[in-house]
Amino acid sequence: MPSTTSAEAPARASIPTPAHSQTALHSATPTHTSLPDLVCFAHLHWDFVWQRPQHLLSRFAQQGRVFYVEEPFFHNDDLIEPHIEVKERQNGVKVIVAHLPQRLRGQEDATDEAQANLLTRFFADNNLTEYIFWYYTPMALAKSRHLQPVLTVYDCMDELAAFKFAPPALREREQELFQKADLVFTGGHTLYEAKSLQHADAHAFPSSIDKDHFGQARQEMPEPADQASIAHPRIGFFGVVDERLDIALLGELAAAHPEWQFIIIGPVVKIDPALLPRTANIHYLGGKNYQELPAYLRGWDVATLLFADNESTKFISPTKTPEYLAAGKPVVSTPIRDVVRPYGDLNLVHIAATADEFGQAIEKALEQNADTDWRHRTDEYLKTISWDLTWQQMVDLMAQRLATKKA
């Protein structure tokens, strides 16, 4: 599992109350509620990055069957018969991949029809008769709208239509999904403000945290070999390196501060690697396993969210914000709304818009490890969020809607 990330409105509004209540925050352990089988349709490969879908669905799989339907795989062979591959992952999650012949590539209607037929047979063969549909991409409606779920959930983790290479039909399909969905969850408050105008039963579930995992960075850990020789101070970033990363800002910071070493962890996608700034103090270490991230974080002096100000970042709620803080690292971010609210407003994260401001904020952050008040306030805030709590509140809402529909 490579590095974690989150892929990510109207005039400023008050922050909506999260779907989880303050009383639920103090639950000792999640309660188990009986739910039907859950079938998730995703645009993200399960094994690519470990983020929101994996955190949530691996938890759902602890109490029932979960099927994670990925995008199809096209073979170079035109003679191959369409078929489904099943791969078992964490907690028994079944990852479903349709294998299709090359001749169907680019033929959207034929591809959707082939996948719909494969899913129909798969549901029959696996006794999938009562099930919940959980969508991350509205584009999956083309292969699934003929099936009859007992409940439909749209977990909208990003404004996908604003991303590079987004399908032209995505906005139209999303409107169709709003009509079908019983519940809409959003990956952040800014996204909630937009989607709650389009669906009456929307709930904000911002990026959460596996505190125990990232808290390992506060303990002694072996230094990763490819980072060990890099000098300090180290200024780090992990996540997918794509159109959301402000590569101009990175280049300006590296040029203005040759005494700092910038460590970038994550796969490069959708952008030309040749466009990345290349200086002696920028180190691209590539994608890393989710389990490795705390060891890298431990060796950083400051963690950053180097996001550009563009359409693809308007609605993001970066999971890495609480992950950095759980690791005990001072954080500097560009003014992403879901970072400003609440982390900037609570003075837990430094917010900076320009290269000069960002550099000044890093200088302050380098002194922050000695600030016991900041660390205490950060830890108190992190006590209020976790993926277990997010998962439990989603389960409760789903159980309530199912009960209402059956009644």
- Output the domain CATH number for residue 229: 3.40.50.2000
Task: Please check the confidence at residue 13 and state whether its pLDDT lies above 60.
Answer: no
Could you tell me if 178 and 311 lie in one domain?
Answer: no
Q: Is residue 1 part of a domain?
A: no
In a domain, 26, yes or no: no
What mean pLDDT do residues 122-136 have? Answer: 97
**Residue 312 binned pLDDT confidence (cut-offs 50, 70, 90):** confident
43 and 187 in a single domain? The answer is yes
Phi, psi dihedrals of residue 404, rounded to the nearest 5°: -65, -45
How far apart, in whole angstroms, are the C-alpha atoms of residue 168 and residue 170?
6
- Domain assignment present for 183: yes
Question: Is the residue at 90 inside a domain?
Answer: yes
Asked if residue 12 belongs to a domain, the reply is no
Q: Are residues 103 and 71 in the same domain?
A: yes
Residues 365 and 234 in one domain: yes
Q: Count CB atoms within 10 A of the CB of residue 247.
A: 17
CA torsion angle 285 288 291 296 (round to 10):
10
Count: domains in the chain = 2
| 37 three-class SS | strand
263-301 residues labelled b (16+ CB within 10 A) or e (exposed): bbbbbbeeeeeeebbeeebbbebebbebebbbbbbbbbb
Provide the phi-psi class of 266: left if phi over 0, else alpha when psi is between -120 and 50, else beta: left
Residue 233 preceded by cis peptide, ω within 30: yes
Residue 5 included in any domain: no
Domain co-membership, 64 together with 78: yes
Say if residues 295 and 224 touch (Cβ distance below 8 Å): yes
DSSP 266: S
Same domain, 360 and 227: yes
Clarify whether residues 250 and 180 are in a common domain.
Answer: no
Q: Which residues pair with residue 322 across a beta bridge? A: none
Regarding whether 292 and 267 lie in a shared domain, the answer is: yes
pLDDT tens per residue across span 283-311: 999 999 999 999 999 999 999 999 999 88
Same-domain pairing of 215 and 204: no
- Whether 174 and 52 share a structural domain: yes
Model confidence over 17-58: pLDDT tens digits? 333 332 233 333 445 568 999 999 999 899 987 889 999 999
Mean pLDDT in residue range 232-240: 96
Q: Within a domain: residue 7?
A: no
Identify the domain containing residue 85 by its residue range: 32-208+386-406
* Residue 91 clears pLDDT 80, i.e. is over it: yes
Global pTM exceeds 0.85: no
In this structure, the answer to whether residues 336 and 260 fall within a common structural domain is yes
Judgement on whether residues 155 and 248 belong to the same structural domain of the protein: no
Taking 60 as the threshold, does the pLDDT of residue 14 lie above it? no
Is the confidence at residue 320, as pLDDT, over 90?
yes
Q: Identify the residue with better confidence: 315 or 38.
A: 38
| pLDDT higher than 60, residue 214 | yes
Type of residue at 171 = R
Please say if the pLDDT value at position 4 is more than 80.
no
pLDDT classification of 167: cutoffs 50, 70, 90: confident
Tell me which of 10-19, 310-319, 357-366 is least confident.
Answer: 10-19
Residue 22 lies in a domain: no
List, for residues 373-402, the tens digit of each pLDDT value: 999 999 999 999 999 999 999 999 999 999
